[in-house]
């Protein structure tokens, strides 16, 4: 690891100037004011705090902020610009894949990683990956539908681009 | 709950990590992925004064395929095992079993060494280690020692590791492609610890008789273990429904946990018998 590499959160260099016991989730919320990352259980069960660290979906309540030194962190705020929703977010809106919205940031970050790494993921795989995120409102069906639809749209768009 | 306060060090080498442990209070802890340790600390079941993060130590990461064994570094993550295309042929049982570990996000951080060190009797990796003749390489102030898994894992949440030692590697004997195998687990929800799980593998000789049978179980005793009585029933015999049922009954009889919050002893006995039968069926269908 190169210690001189800056820590980046949503593309912006930040300094990790907190106590070692500060979780990445609390650092993002309290130090950086990025309150899109939600903290549910604080012991790695609910998935609401999922963020991307060097591209991998991880629970930010089970990672120390100091462990993110020199990493590239993306939160739900970093998934899209202020002007437009990402295709996945738009699919969530179309499919009514959120009600209270508490679990949504963790599910969006998780599904973004899945779509990037496994563009051909099946519905079964989507369900398996999302099993680490608890939602108490939707019954999951609209969430799975939204991710499956976003994957299908991305494949169709890729097909059009192909020569 | 918020974590109790502690000091944090992130050494760049194993030697540096060992000297940090040697020079610190006995309650210092090693951290890598933190997927077990941080929840324990969040519950305030542990409050170590120092965390030594081994996540930057390159020599503890990676999977090496040697002539006689696989060497898996202690800081290797679950996702590294699942994403290693070589393992589909080199150790399919390992890859299938690790697919049952916790959830997608946990598998991106959790490590081989962390699972072994915390010694949960229902965890997948210790179960695979017990079923596959694994040994553990432990680094300490006096150098490295290699310990057979059965001597390493003393009981629920207890190993022979001293406060000054760090798990360096897991060694698994090389897989043979003609080996038949299955890994089956029953948990109440996807990603939960297993109520019971079975890791089974064996060879068949030219006349169809079973040989070198390994029946490993987890979640049903205070440590993952092989069921010698079930293996003895299967070894040297041609498989039949009666034979497999007898082996399954032997496995059920070996269950050694009392009723707990999650299941009664009778339920676990029934579960392990069903899992052994289904695992054998799956292994036969898969072929060697």
User: pLDDT tens across B162-175, in order?
Assistant: 999 999 999 999 99
pLDDT given for residue A162 in this prediction: 66
**Is any Cβ of chain B less than 8 angstroms from the Cβ of A57?**
yes
Q: How confident is the model at residue B190 (pLDDT cuts 50, 70, 90)?
A: confident
Minimal CA separation from B15 to chain A, in Å: 17
Phi, psi of B92 (to 5 degrees): -60, -30
User: Does A100 lie in the same domain as A65?
Assistant: no
Phi, psi of B129 (to 5 degrees): -60, -40
User: Does A150 lie in the same domain as A105?
Assistant: yes
Alpha carbons B50 and B9: distance in angstroms, whole number: 8
User: Does A73 lie in the same domain as A28?
Assistant: yes
pLDDT given for residue A3 in this prediction: 53
Supply the DSSP string of A46-105, one letter for each residue.
S-TTEEEETTEEEEGGGSBGGGGTT-EEE-GGGSS-SSS--HHHHHHHHTT--SS-SSHH
Phi, psi of B72 (to 5 degrees): -115, 120
Q: How confident is the model at residue A1 (pLDDT cuts 50, 70, 90)?
A: very low
Distance set, CA B77 to CA B109, B145, B180 (Å): 6, 23, 26
Q: How confident is the model at residue A163 (pLDDT cuts 50, 70, 90)?
A: low
Alpha carbons B189 and B186: distance in angstroms, whole number: 9
**Is any Cβ of chain A less than 8 angstroms from the Cβ of B56?**
yes
pLDDT given for residue A160 in this prediction: 78
pTM: 0.96
**Is any Cβ of chain A less than 8 angstroms from the Cβ of B159?**
no
CB contact under 8 A, B108 and A58: yes
Instruction: Give kind and range of the element (H or E) at residue A14.
Output: strand A12-14
Domain count, chain A: 2
CA A104-A108-A109 angle, to 5 degrees, is: 120
Q: Is residue A48 part of a domain?
A: yes
Which tokens is B21 given? 């442990």
Q: What is the mean pLDDT of residues B261-278?
A: 96
Q: Is residue A104 part of a domain?
A: yes
Q: What is the mean pLDDT of residues A109-113?
A: 98
Minimal CA separation from B147 to chain A, in Å: 30
pLDDT given for residue A88 in this prediction: 98
User: Does A54 lie in the same domain as A92?
Assistant: no
Mutate to test the interface with A, among B9, B103, B191 (most CBs of A within 10 A): B103
Q: Is residue A59 part of a domain?
A: yes
Alpha carbons B84 and B100: distance in angstroms, whole number: 16
pLDDT given for residue B25 in this prediction: 87
Q: Is residue A1 part of a domain?
A: no
User: Does A91 lie in the same domain as A72?
Assistant: no
Minimal CA separation from A60 to chain B, in Å: 10
pLDDT given for residue B196 in this prediction: 96
The residue out of A43, A60, A78 marking a domain boundary is A78
Q: What is the mean pLDDT of residues B8-12?
A: 97
pLDDT tens sequence across B208-256: 999 999 999 999 999 999 999 999 999 999 999 999 999 999 999 998 9
Q: How confident is the model at residue A4 (pLDDT cuts 50, 70, 90)?
A: confident
Q: Mean pLDDT lowest for which of A159-163, B96-100, B185-189, B252-256?
A: A159-163
User: Does A122 lie in the same domain as A70?
Assistant: no
- Output the domain CATH number for residue A154: 1.10.150.120
Whether residue B19 has pLDDT greater than 60: yes
The answer to whether the CB of B122 falls within 8 A of the CB of B156 is: no
Cβ contacts (< 8 Å) between A23 and chain B: which residues? 3, 38
Whether residue A119 has pLDDT greater than 80: yes
Q: What is the four-CA torsion angle of B120, B125, B128, B129, rounded to 10 degrees?
A: -80
Alpha carbons B190 and B271: distance in angstroms, whole number: 17
**Nearest CB to B105: which of A23, A69, A132?**
A132
Alpha carbons B55 and B109: distance in angstroms, whole number: 10
User: Does A156 lie in the same domain as A102?
Assistant: yes
- Output the domain CATH number for residue A21: 3.10.20.30
Q: Is residue A26 part of a domain?
A: yes
Which residues constitute the domain of residue A135? 87-161
pLDDT given for residue B133 in this prediction: 98
Residue A45: other Cβ atoms inside 10 A: 19
pLDDT tens sequence across B36-53: 999 999 999 999 999 999
User: Does A91 lie in the same domain as A29?
Assistant: no
Q: How confident is the model at residue B32 (pLDDT cuts 50, 70, 90)?
A: very high
User: Does A129 lie in the same domain as A153?
Assistant: yes
Average pLDDT, chain A: 95
Q: Is residue A2 part of a domain?
A: no
Q: What is the mean pLDDT of residues A120-128?
A: 97
pLDDT given for residue A81 in this prediction: 87
User: Does A98 lie in the same domain as A66?
Assistant: no
CB contact under 8 A, B104 and A57: yes
Average pLDDT, chain B: 96
The percent of residues in chain B predicted with pLDDT above 70, rounded, is 100
pLDDT given for residue B269 in this prediction: 96
Domains by residue range for chain B, with CATH: 1-48+60-174 (3.30.465.10), 180-286 (3.30.390.50)
Q: What is the four-CA torsion angle of B11, B17, B21, B27, rounded to 10 degrees?
A: 60
Task: Identify the CA nearest to B185 among candidates B120, B248, B275, B262.
Answer: B275
pLDDT tens sequence across B52-109: 999 999 999 999 999 999 999 999 999 999 999 999 999 999 999 999 999 999 999 9
What ipTM was predicted for this assembly?
0.94
């Amino acid at each position: 690891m190169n210690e001189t590499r800056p820590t980046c959160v949503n593309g912006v260099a930040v300094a990790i100037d907190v106590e070692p016991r500060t979780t990445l989730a609390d650092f993002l919320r309290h130090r950086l004011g990025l309150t899109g990352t939600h903290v549910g259980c604080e012991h790695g069960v609910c998935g609401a705090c999922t963020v991307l660290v060097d591209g991998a979906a991880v629970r930010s309540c089970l990672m120390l902020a100091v462990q993110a030194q020199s990493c590239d962190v993306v939160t739900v705020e970093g998934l899209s610009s202020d002007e437009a929703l990402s295709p996945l977010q738009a699919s969530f809106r179309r499919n009514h894949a959120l009600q209270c919205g508490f679990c949504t940031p963790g599910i969006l970050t998780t599904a973004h990683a899945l779509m990037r790494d496994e563009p051909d993921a099946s519905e079964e795989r989507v369900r398996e990956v999302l099993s680490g995120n608890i939602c108490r409102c939707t019954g999951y069906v609209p969430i799975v539908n939204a991710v499956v639809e976003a994957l299908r749209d991305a494949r169709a768009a890729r097909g059009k681009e192909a020569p | 709950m918020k974590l109790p306060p502690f000091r944090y060090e992130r050494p760049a080498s194993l030697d540096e990590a060992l000297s940090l442990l040697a020079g610190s209070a006995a309650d210092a802890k090693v951290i890598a992925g933190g997927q077990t340790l941080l929840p324990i600390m969040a519950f305030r079941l542990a409050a170590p004064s120092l965390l030594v993060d081994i996540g930057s130590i390159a020599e503890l990461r990676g999977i090496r395929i040697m002539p006689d064994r696989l060497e898996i570094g202690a800081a290797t993550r679950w996702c590294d095992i699942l994403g290693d295309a070589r393992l589909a042929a080199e150790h399919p049982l390992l890859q299938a079993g690790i697919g049952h570990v916790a959830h997608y996000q946990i598998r991106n951080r959790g490590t081989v060494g962390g699972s072994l060190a915390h010694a949960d009797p229902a965890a997948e990796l210790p179960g695979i280690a017990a079923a596959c003749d694994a040994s553990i390489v432990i680094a300490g102030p006096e150098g490295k020692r290699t310990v057979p898994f059965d001597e390493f894992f003393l009981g629920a949440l207890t190993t022979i590791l001293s406060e000054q030692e760090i798990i360096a590697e897991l060694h698994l004997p090389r897989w043979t492609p003609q080996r038949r195998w299955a890994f089956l687990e029953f948990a109440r929800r996807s990603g939960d610890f297993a109520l019971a799980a079975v890791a089974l593998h064996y060879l068949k000789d030219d006349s169809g008789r079973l040989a070198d049978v390994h029946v490993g179980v987890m979640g049903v005793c205070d440590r993952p273990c092989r069921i010698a009585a079930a293996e003895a029933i299967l070894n040297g015999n041609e498989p039949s429904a009666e034979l497999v049922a007898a082996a399954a009954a032997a496995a059920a009889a070996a269950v050694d946990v009392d009723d707990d919050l999650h299941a009664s002893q009778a339920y676990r006995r029934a579960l392990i018998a069903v899992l052994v039968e289904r695992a054998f069926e799956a292994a036969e269908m898969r072929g060697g």
